[in-house]
Amino acid sequence: MVHAHSIPIAEMAQHLAAGDAQAVLPDGAAGPVRLRGLWWAVSAGHDRYRPVTDPAAVTVFETGLARLAAHRQHRADILAETRARRR
């Protein structure tokens, strides 16, 4: 039975490609995704995205996304600094 609030992986991949959704893991389409203010994830052994309601899981996703974003910003700053030094 298909859950009333579920999204097929392929459809979620389209949301990601269109920029409507944001994935925690940049390489992963099956990893947790934030879409329309909700977190969605595929439970082990399933093939569709469903909303995540567990607050502990949401915290892990939020923290992961924020940490990676902050690190990427740091990396960009370092690269800009290196380029400026070379000029």
- Under the criterion CB under 8 A, does residue 55 sit at the interface with other proteins? no
Q: Find the binder of other proteins among 7, 55, 60, 85 (CB under 8 A).
A: 60
Q: Which of 75, 9, 73 is nearest to 40 (CA)?
A: 9
In degrees to the nearest 10, what's the CA dihedral of 56, 57, 59, 61? 170
Q: Find the binder of other proteins among 14, 27, 36, 62 (CB under 8 A).
A: 27
Q: Are 76 and 37 in contact (CB under 8 A)?
A: no
CB of 9 to other proteins, least distance (A): 6
- Under the criterion CB under 8 A, does residue 54 sit at the interface with other proteins? yes
